[in-house]
Amino acid sequence: MNVFESLDQVSSVTSAVERRGRSDDLVAEIADGLVAAGEYVTRVDLMPTQQVVDLNWAAHQAGRSLGIRIQVEVKVAKADPDGRAQIWVRPQPSPA
């Protein structure tokens, strides 16, 4: 029996629970922003790219929780020295 294998499994389960809590918090934060201001705006680091992926997923989950479709717009300024991108989450316009 490998003791470290079981420790790795416990660690991965704990990490998954922590990520789930952060994801749920982000979904709620985005939904609150959409309800209160009609959009949610934030800045995220582009590296690691998982942050951008997680924010995109959370934005779509927030839209689903509100019963709306959303669009996520990412703008990267080449002059931005900190390597961050501005992200807007807005409801999609209704089809005409």
Question: Over the stretch 9-54, which tens digit does the pLDDT of each residue have?
Answer: 544 444 444 555 678 899 999 999 999 999 999 988 877 788 888 8
Q: Considering the chain, what is the average pLDDT of its residues?
A: 79
50 contact partners, CB below 8 Å, separation of at least 6: none
Which amino acid is it at 78? K
More confident position, 80 or 25: 25
Copy the structure tokens of residue 80.
Answer: 């931005």
CA dist., res. 82 & res. 37, Å (int):
27
Residue 84 lies in a domain: yes
Residue 70 lies in a domain: yes
27 contact partners, CB below 8 Å, separation of at least 6: 58, 61, 62, 65
CATH of the domain at 40: 3.30.110
pLDDT-derived band at 96, boundaries 50, 70, 90: low
pLDDT-derived band at 86, boundaries 50, 70, 90: confident
Give 20-31 as a 3 state SS string.
HHHHHHHHHHHH
Residue 58 lies in a domain: yes
pLDDT at 16: 46
The pTM (predicted TM-score) of the whole model is 0.70
Copy the structure tokens of residue 38.
Answer: 């009609």
Task: Name the phi and psi angles at 81, rounded to 5.
Answer: -70, -20
pLDDT-derived band at 2, boundaries 50, 70, 90: very low
* Number of domains observed in the structure of the chain: 1
For 10, the domain range is 3-91
